[in-house]
Amino acid sequence: LNRDGRFDLSADPQFAQAAARYGVVSGKSTHANRLDTIRDTYQRFGQMIDTHTADGVQVALEHHSAASVPQIVLETALPIKLAATIEEALGHSPERPAKFEGIEALPKRVQVMPADVTLIKANIERHCAPAVLG
Mean pLDDT per 10-residue interval, the chain, length 134 residues: 80 82 82 97 95 93 75 87 94 91 88 92 82 49
Confidence at residue 129, expressed as pLDDT on a 0 to 100 scale: 63
Q: Which long-range contacts (CB under 8 A, 24 or more apart) does 75-84 make?
A: 75/49, 75/50, 76/50, 76/52, 77/50, 77/51, 77/52, 77/53, 78/50, 79/48, 79/49, 79/50, 81/50, 82/50, 82/51, 82/52
Confidence at residue 52, expressed as pLDDT on a 0 to 100 scale: 94
Confidence at residue 126, expressed as pLDDT on a 0 to 100 scale: 87
Confidence at residue 130, expressed as pLDDT on a 0 to 100 scale: 59
Confidence at residue 118, expressed as pLDDT on a 0 to 100 scale: 94
Query: What is the pTM assigned to this prediction?
Result: 0.68
Q: Which residues contact 111 (CB under 8 A, 6 or more apart)?
A: 123
The whole-angstrom separation of Cα 91 and Cα 74 is: 24
Confidence at residue 68, expressed as pLDDT on a 0 to 100 scale: 65
